[in-house]
Amino acid sequence: GESGAGKTVNTKRVIQYFASIASGASMKKDAIASGKGTLEDQIIQANPALEAFGNAKTLRNDNSSRFGKFIRIHFGATGKLASADIETYLLEKSRVIFQLKSERNYHIFYQILSNKKPELLDMLLVTNNPYDYSFISQGETTVASIDDADELMATDSAFDILGFTPEEKAGIYKLTGAIMHYGNMKFKTRQREEQAEPDGTEEADKSAYLMGLNSADLLKGLCHPRVKVGNEYVTKGQNVQQVSYSTGALAKSVYEKMFNWMVVRINQTLETKLPRQYFIGVLDIAGFEIFD
């Protein structure tokens, strides 16, 4: 289906329907006792959590899924909801560091900067202005149909219902913040050499702090990476262009690994010990956009 035709919205409705007709009253009691959401709630809340990190405004669609997903809903022998699991495919990584003029990066960046939770800005050492961060301000930064502040609260509460701990949530936010600082790292050419060196370390210090790394090690890894040649490692010099390519590649890789970790973590929540006999699978793949 074309982007914006309704694939993702339909998927949500179908899942809501299966989850609500098949969930038992006993589940609600267990959920109240555990303080987390019911399995039915958790299956439904997996969507806002993944959409914040995997959906973005594109030319034709304000909330376009930039990844594919296959959701299996498992039922017991009597047709009661037993568990669920999600597989994801091909997250679009290029968007993390580059957007076309009328497009936007993933929603989560703008949700955080909406200042609805000011403590996040303090924790991530960021301002509330997307234009301060080059990785997220190459296209649009606001979308008329989306209230980023409200969406942040929805994302945050989805994590809670899914049973993420405060540390896990903070870790996800910190990695997202680190990527914003990544795009602002500056490098210059050392005099009379091709070798790049840091042009100020403030942004590297911030991203290293958020990622639990040593800032000097991070910069050394970018400017003088160790590469394997045959059976041994050698340190190679890089020019400014190569370093900026490495920085972008690292940002994309961190984002993708974080996204995949979230899927694994959500699946841990949706995995119950209940016996299961049947499943219904719902496939929601990324759409296509038709241009002139």
Query: What pLDDT, on a 0 to 100 scale, did the predictor assign at position 35?
Result: 60
Number of domains in the chain: 1
Query: What pLDDT, on a 0 to 100 scale, did the predictor assign at position 31?
Result: 64
Q: Is a pLDDT exceeding 90 seen at residue 24? A: no
Tokens representing 214 are: 């040593």
% of the chain beyond a pLDDT of 90: 89
Tokens representing 19 are: 């989850």
Q: Active-site residues: which are they?
A: 3-4, 8, 61, 64-65, 287, 289
What is the chain's mean pLDDT, rounded?
Answer: 94
Q: Is a pLDDT exceeding 70 seen at residue 117? A: yes
Q: Is residue 211 part of a domain?
A: no
**pTM of the predicted model as reported, rounded to 2 decimal places:** 0.94
Q: Which of 72, 52, 30, 19 is nearest to 284 (CA)?
A: 72
Instruction: Please report, for the domain that includes residue 32, its CATH number.
Output: 3.40.850.10
Q: Is a pLDDT exceeding 80 seen at residue 291? A: no
Q: Is residue 170 part of a domain?
A: no
The dihedrals phi and psi of 84, each to the nearest 5 degrees, come to -155, 160
The letter for the amino acid at 234 is V
Q: Is residue 15 part of a domain?
A: yes
Cα distance between residue 152 and residue 106, in whole Å: 12
Q: Is residue 230 part of a domain?
A: no
Q: Is a pLDDT exceeding 80 seen at residue 32? A: no
Burial 233-251 (b: 16+ CB within 10 A, else e): eeeeebbbebbbebbbebb
Q: Is residue 122 part of a domain?
A: yes
Q: What is the domain extent for residue 153?
A: 7-164+265-284
Query: What pLDDT, on a 0 to 100 scale, did the predictor assign at position 37?
Result: 84
Tokens representing 103 are: 């497009």
Q: Is residue 125 part of a domain?
A: yes
Q: Is a pLDDT exceeding 90 seen at residue 49? A: yes
Q: Is residue 88 part of a domain?
A: yes
Q: Is residue 220 part of a domain?
A: no
pLDDT, one tens digit per residue, over 51-103 is: 999 999 999 899 999 999 999 999 999 999 999 999 999 999 999 999 999 99
Q: Is a pLDDT exceeding 90 seen at residue 288? A: no
